[in-house]
């Protein structure tokens, strides 16, 4: 019997025949026709399903019926039913896949199959958890399991290892990961697995499974033909296992090979770059000390590095030596802003502090003492706290520098505001390195009779310096001050309690803070508590879901605000779909503008590892009718895309600088500065226009104060750290930079409390390559930047305004007067011609070629000097993120980095090929180079150890000299800044005569 190929009606009719043989023939015919005539077949799909369940047909015929039904449901886009029948088809589906028939159908069903398998595996208890039920793990459909196993086999046989690893990571199949990596222990595959786990491209991996894979990778990276110790350091940080980290460091230090000893030093520097105080203290405690048996010089160096002071001192010296602040920008801003306004005074204090962060330069303050003396009350607090940014990292001299402003041990207080600001400044100097000052700040806080402003500064200082220290004694002291119910001191204590216990997820602390937030009547305290609770659950992901639900359901919008930031910090950098979906829902549905603004801002913390996605996510939100949502969109773009120069983000923000609402313009200008920091006009053309916009807004006295405030802060951010730092929430190891994330979360609170704007400095990351030898000294040598110098140069300094020559305006002349003058002139010329006189004739000055102009007016044709395609940079130079891919250590040079720097050839035995210079658009990529292990402090291998070495010596501290009246000289015992004027007194009470109004 022959079936008509123009229709499936004949084959469908045969399905009604009673004989099984005829039905089987019809099914075979339909399998050939269903792709073309699925619409006709769909009308009889019920009959096909009946045949699938019929016991009269052979198993192969029933499988064929299932396959046909699956194809029909696929064309009807009922993919769940299509998968169910494909599983019923058994081996026939596998045959279909191998023969390559219906490729689109096969691809769709396999994708659905993988998604279903991953979803079912993720929903099961953690297979590596001792408390999980083994019976529940085996509850996945055996047919589905069989198809997945076939996919794994095919991928491994075909060499599609990454595809197999991706599915295995998503579905928590450790056995498949082992099978693939044992078969091909390739560095590229190991990096792929590590990247999938660290960049959180794997959705919801089980905690124990993730740790198991990381520990497995930890054994593979050092055993590669070229051991990858940088990735090993990343794993140690992710595992947060101090015993394991110290064991690695000790083993490498005890090696007889010099290179391995240097690797230990490099790993210590990298651990300090991303580790918490608590983790580093634990690692250091397990390294043998000087008095312990078996201790040697290598261990002493490790302990010295792990204190963090070595890294801080190197970066401090870099910022001091490479300070390129344009003082004319600050002068013009000061002249344009009214010093009597506390808002403008604080804005300029912030801008100066940002620009000079870590440079130890107080030139602007010493040159403008009259302006500084106008600070009163909280402006004085802000101005004094700014000293903490100027001297950030100057750990050894912090108490000496701030001594004149700190509370006296005995005697009356000079000014509570300057004392409180000085305590906050002390915390900022020791940010995330506060072991040396925590005791002092705690004593100040607990001293009886302290002013609440002093307590406020001490609490903020404790929070910033004792971040993630987990110090229970300090926490209890803060709680005692909190319970005094002082609004000013209590708010700071709320922030500080969360910062000290950052990331601990302590439920007891959370319950105490939530209970007090319910009891107190002070809005400021509730706000501090809300953020403090968010800090508790930093990085906790799923563990925080319970408290997030609790806070989001609160009636008080301030506590819901805290719930939004709990989502942001718990899932920071994960790009978690559920977290993103949740904050987007709150951004459009909550009744509070504050909550909606915070929800949109939170997208920055969730998505900062995928900055290119953020403009697409917030595009519609940036056009919202609600200005608070638009403001949140500006900060979301600025924080997540900071330092990238991302053009999509710039294009969204530029129109928002003209928004009708002042604070939206403020947010847009601040965010543009974050995105364009350390970008040149060659990479981001918007840099020039953005800088001009800031100057224009600040100079315009009719502009709204909030917009001028934002433009002033933006000027400081775009030139932060003497133009030698970038802003980033990622560490060089590719993970989340805890200090930067917390700093930016605190910075966003300047909406309510200006002094917290200083915390933006916690996200500043110096962009330098600092090479150190095994003796931890900085040698003099040169490296090569294979790009035109103009592509990565510092911005040109601002030119002072030139005096404009006043041009005379031509006098209007009547036509009759002109005619009369012309006749008179003609007569005089005729008369003069007779006497040979040349009066009133224009004299043309002689042109000389010596002036650089030819007599005919043409300019000389000097050949334009061609810009070199590369430049040599000395050690301890600025290297911006976009420049890193073009950095090369010359093979013939004496020093070579023990850890790869992006663009460096390794190993360097042969002559490097001439690299093509980057174009003007080089560096348009997003954050790819900065986190590939390049930049930062690099330990150097000396290839000629016998030769003498010349070192870069730190700038000497000058001998004590006569101090200027300001007391701001850094190199002599400082005296307090004399801030003229007393704090403003409260007005006398009075009653307004309302009844007498006319």
According to DSSP, residue 353 is labeled H
Question: Quick check: 385 and 748 in contact, CB under 8 A?
Answer: no
Place of tokens 């019920």: 46
What are 119-161's pLDDT values in tens digits?
888 877 766 555 555 555 557 778 888 888 888 888 888 888 8
According to DSSP, residue 964 is labeled P
pLDDT greater than 90 at residue 555: yes
692 domain residue, yes or no:
no
Cα–Cα separations (whole angstroms), residue 350 to 46, 122, 157, 196, 389: 73, 48, 61, 39, 9
The mean pLDDT of 18-22, rounded to a whole number, is 84
Alpha-carbon torsion 615, 618, 611, 177, what sign? negative
Among the ranges given (218-227, 240-249, 255-264, 985-994), the one the predictor scored with the smallest mean pLDDT: 985-994
Q: How many structural domains is the chain composed of?
A: 2
Q: Quote the pLDDT of residue 5.
A: 64
896 domain residue, yes or no:
yes
Question: Which of the two residues, 293 and 814, has the higher pLDDT score?
Answer: 814
**How far apart are the C-alpha atoms of 81 and 109, rounded to whole Å?**
10
Structural domain harbouring 783: 767-795+868-905+932-943
3-class SS of residue 412: coil
The helix (H) or strand (E) run that includes residue 232 is helix 229-239
pLDDT greater than 90 at residue 527: yes
Among the ranges given (34-48, 321-335, 497-511, 949-963), the one the predictor scored with the smallest mean pLDDT: 949-963
The β-bridge relationship of strands 871-874 and 782-785 is antiparallel
Ramachandran area for residue 416 (φ above 0: left; ψ -120 to 50: alpha; else beta): alpha
Strand partners, 970: none
**How far apart are the C-alpha atoms of 401 and 381, rounded to whole Å?**
16
Q: Quote the pLDDT of residue 640.
A: 93
Closest to 334 measured CA to CA, from 712, 689, 692, 666: 712
Q: Quote the pLDDT of residue 356.
A: 94
The mean pLDDT of 607-636, rounded to a whole number, is 93
pLDDT greater than 60 at residue 911: no
What are 159-201's pLDDT values in tens digits?
888 888 988 888 888 889 999 898 877 888 888 888 888 765 5
Q: Quote the pLDDT of residue 526.
A: 94
897 domain residue, yes or no:
yes
Which of 36, 69, 101 represents a domain boundary (last residue)? 101
Among the ranges given (9-13, 402-406, 899-903, 981-985), the one the predictor scored with the smallest mean pLDDT: 981-985
- Report the share of the chain in percent with pLDDT over 70: 83
Q: Quote the pLDDT of residue 138.
A: 53
Closest to 346 measured CA to CA, from 413, 412, 421, 400: 421
Ramachandran area for residue 807 (φ above 0: left; ψ -120 to 50: alpha; else beta): beta
Q: Quote the pLDDT of residue 76.
A: 87
Closest to 595 measured CA to CA, from 532, 551, 634, 542: 551
**How far apart are the C-alpha atoms of 449 and 446, rounded to whole Å?**
9
779 domain residue, yes or no:
yes
Residue 838 — very low, low, confident or very high, per pLDDT cuts 50/70/90? very low
Q: Quote the pLDDT of residue 843.
A: 43
3-class SS of residue 911: coil
**How far apart are the C-alpha atoms of 596 and 603, rounded to whole Å?**
12
What count of residues does the chain have? 998
**How far apart are the C-alpha atoms of 287 and 296, rounded to whole Å?**
10
361 domain residue, yes or no:
no
Q: Quote the pLDDT of residue 967.
A: 37
The mean pLDDT of 21-25, rounded to a whole number, is 83
Q: Quote the pLDDT of residue 857.
A: 47
Question: Which of the two residues, 275 and 482, has the higher pLDDT score?
Answer: 482
Both tokens assigned to 175: 């056995």
780 domain residue, yes or no:
yes
Strand partners, 772: 939
Strand partners, 726: 765
pLDDT greater than 60 at residue 927: no
Which of 101, 121, 142 represents a domain boundary (last residue)? 101
Q: What's the pTM value of the predicted model, to 2 decimals?
A: 0.82
pLDDT greater than 70 at residue 958: no
Closest to 217 measured CA to CA, from 233, 205, 199, 240: 233
Q: Quote the pLDDT of residue 840.
A: 45
* Burial class (CB within 10 angstroms; exposed 0-12, middle 13-18, buried 19+) of 428: buried
Cα–Cα separations (whole angstroms), residue 23 to 9, 17, 33, 299, 668: 14, 7, 15, 82, 70
Q: Quote the pLDDT of residue 764.
A: 93
Question: Which of the two residues, 97 and 455, has the higher pLDDT score?
Answer: 455
Question: Quick check: 417 and 983 in contact, CB under 8 A?
Answer: yes
Both tokens assigned to 240: 């947060």
Question: Quick check: 898 and 906 in contact, CB under 8 A?
Answer: no
What are 680-736's pLDDT values in tens digits?
888 888 999 999 999 999 999 999 999 999 999 999 999 999 999 999 898 877 778
Please give the full DSSP string across 842-873, using - where no structure is assigned: PPPPPP-GGGT--TTSPPP-PPPPPPPS-EEE
Cα–Cα separations (whole angstroms), residue 114 to 138, 140, 157, 997: 17, 13, 18, 78
Mean pLDDT over the full length of the chain: 82
182 domain residue, yes or no:
no
Question: Quick check: 89 and 67 in contact, CB under 8 A?
Answer: yes
Closest to 904 measured CA to CA, from 933, 869, 943: 933
Please give the full DSSP string across 738-779, using - where no structure is assigned: HHHHHHHHHHGGGGT-GGGGGGGGGGEEE-EEEEE-TTS--B
776 domain residue, yes or no:
yes
């Amino acid at each position: 019997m022959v079936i008509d190929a123009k229709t499936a009606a004949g084959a469908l009719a045969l399905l009604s025949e009673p004989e099984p043989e005829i039905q089987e023939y019809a099914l075979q015919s339909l399998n050939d026709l269903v792709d073309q005539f699925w619409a006709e077949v769909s009308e009889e799909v019920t009959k096909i399903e009946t045949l699938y369940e019929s016991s009269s047909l052979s198993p192969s015929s029933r499988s064929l019926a299932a396959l046909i039904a699956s194809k029909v449901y696929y064309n009807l886009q009922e993919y769940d039913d299509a998968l169910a029948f494909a599983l019923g088809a058994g081996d026939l589906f596998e045959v279909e896949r191998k023969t390559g028939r219906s490729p689109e159908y096969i691809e769709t069903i396999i994708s659905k199959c993988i998604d279903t398998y991953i979803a079912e595996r993720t929903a099961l208890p953690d297979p590596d958890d001792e408390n999980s039920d083994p019976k529940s793990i085996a509850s996945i459909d055996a047919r589905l399991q069989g198809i997945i196993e076939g996919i794994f086999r095919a991928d491994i046989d075909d060499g599609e290892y990454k595809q197999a690893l991706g599915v295995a990571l998503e579905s928590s199949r450790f056995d498949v990961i082992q099978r693939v990596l044992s078969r091909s222990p390739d560095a590229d595959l190991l990096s792929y697995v590590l990247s999938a786990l660290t960049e959180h491209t794997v959705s919801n991996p089980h905690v124990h499974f993730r740790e198991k894979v990381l520990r497995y990778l930890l054994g593979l990276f050092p055993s590669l033909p070229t051991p990858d110790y940088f990735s090993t350091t990343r794993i140690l940080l992710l595992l947060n296992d101090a015993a394991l980290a110290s064991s690695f460091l000790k083993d490498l230090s005890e090696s007889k090979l010099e290179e391995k000893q240097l690797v230990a030093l490099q790993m210590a520097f990298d651990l300090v770059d991303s580790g918490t105080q608590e983790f580093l203290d634990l690692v250091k405690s397990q390294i043998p000390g000087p008095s312990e048996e078996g201790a040697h010089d290598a261990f002493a160096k490790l302990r010295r590095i792990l204190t963090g002071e070595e890294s801080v001192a190197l970066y401090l010296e870099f910022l001091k030596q490479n300070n390129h602040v344009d003082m004319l920008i600050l002068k013009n801003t000061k002249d344009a802003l009214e010093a009597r306004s506390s808002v403008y005074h604080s804005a300029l204090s912030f801008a100066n502090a940002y620009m000079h962060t870590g440079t130890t330069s107080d030139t602007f303050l010493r040159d403008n003492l009259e302006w500084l003396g106008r600070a009163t009350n909280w402006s004085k607090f802000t101005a004094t706290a700014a000293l903490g940014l100027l001297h950030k990292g100057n750990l050894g001299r912090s108490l000496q520098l701030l001594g004149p402003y700190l509370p006296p041990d005995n005697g009356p207080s000079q000014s509570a505001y300057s004392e409180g600001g000085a305590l906050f400044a002390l915390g900022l100097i020791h940010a995330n390195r506060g072991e040396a000052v925590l005791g002092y700040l705690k004593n100040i806080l607990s001293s009886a009779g302290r002013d609440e402003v002093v307590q406020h500064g001490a609490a903020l200082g404790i929070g910033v310096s004792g971040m993630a220290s987990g110090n229970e004694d300090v926490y209890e002291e803060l709680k005692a001050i909190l319970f005094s119910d002082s609004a000013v001191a209590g708010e700071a204590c709320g922030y500080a309690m969360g910062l000290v216990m950052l990331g601990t997820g302590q439920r007891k602390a959370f319950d105490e803070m939530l209970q007090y937030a319910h009891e107190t009547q002070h809005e400021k305290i509730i706000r501090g508590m809300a953020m403090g609770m968010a800090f508790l659950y930093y990085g906790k992901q799923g563990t925080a879901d319970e408290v997030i639900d609790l806070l989001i359901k609160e009636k008080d919008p301030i506590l819901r605000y805290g719930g939004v930031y709990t989502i942001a910090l718990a899932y920071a950098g994960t790009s978690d779909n559920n977290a993103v979906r949740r904050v987007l829902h709150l951004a459009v549905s909550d009744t509070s503008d504050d909550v909606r603004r915070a929800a949109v801002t939170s997208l920055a913390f969730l998505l900062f590892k995928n900055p290119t996605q953020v403009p697409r996510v917030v595009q519609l939100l940036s056009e919202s009718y609600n200005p608070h949502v638009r403001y949140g969109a500006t900060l979301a773009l600025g924080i997540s895309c900071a330092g990238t120069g991302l053009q999509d983000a710039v294009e969204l923000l530029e129109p928002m600088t003209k928004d009708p609402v002042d604070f939206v313009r403020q947010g847009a200008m601040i965010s543009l500065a974050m995105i364009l920091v350390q970008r040149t006009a060659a990479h981001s053309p918007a840099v020039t226009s953005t800088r001009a916009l800031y100057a224009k807004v600040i100079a315009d006295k009719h502009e709204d104060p909030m917009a001028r405030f934002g433009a002033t802060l933006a000027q400081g951010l775009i030139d932060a750290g003497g133009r030698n730092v970038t802003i980033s929430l990622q560490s060089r190891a590719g993970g989340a930079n805890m200090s930067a994330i917390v700093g930016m979360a605190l910075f966003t609170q300047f909406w309510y409390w200006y002094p917290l704007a200083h915390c933006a400095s916690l996200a500043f990351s110096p962009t330098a390559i600092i090479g150190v030898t095994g003796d931890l000294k900085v040698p003099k040598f040169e490296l090569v930047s294979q790009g035109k110098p103009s592509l990565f140069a510092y911005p040109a300094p601002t030119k002072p305004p030139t005096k404009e020559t006043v041009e005379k305006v031509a006098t209007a002349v009547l036509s009759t007067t002109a005619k009369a003058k012309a006749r008179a002139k003609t007569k005089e010329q005729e008369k003069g011609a007779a006497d040979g006189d040349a009066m009133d004739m224009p004299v043309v000055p002689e042109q000389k070629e010596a002036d650089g102009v030819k007599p005919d007016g043409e300019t000389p044709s000097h050949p334009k000097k061609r810009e070199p395609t590369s430049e040599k940079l000395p050690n301890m130079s600025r290297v911006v993120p976009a420049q890193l891919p073009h950095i090369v250590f010359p093979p013939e040079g004496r020093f070579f980095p023990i850890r790869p720097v992006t663009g460096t050839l390794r190993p360097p035995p042969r002559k490097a090929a001439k690299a093509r210079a980057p174009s003007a658009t080089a560096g348009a990529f997003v954050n790819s180079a900065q986190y590939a292990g390049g930049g930062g402090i690099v330990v150097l291998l000396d290839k000629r150890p016998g030769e003498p070495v010349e070192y870069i010596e730190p700038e000497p501290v000058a001998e004590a000299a006569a101090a200027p009246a300001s007391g701001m000289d850094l190199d002599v015992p400082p005296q307090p800044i004399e801030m003229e004027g007393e704090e403003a007194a409260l007005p006398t009470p009075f009653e307004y005569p309302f009844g007498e109004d006319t």
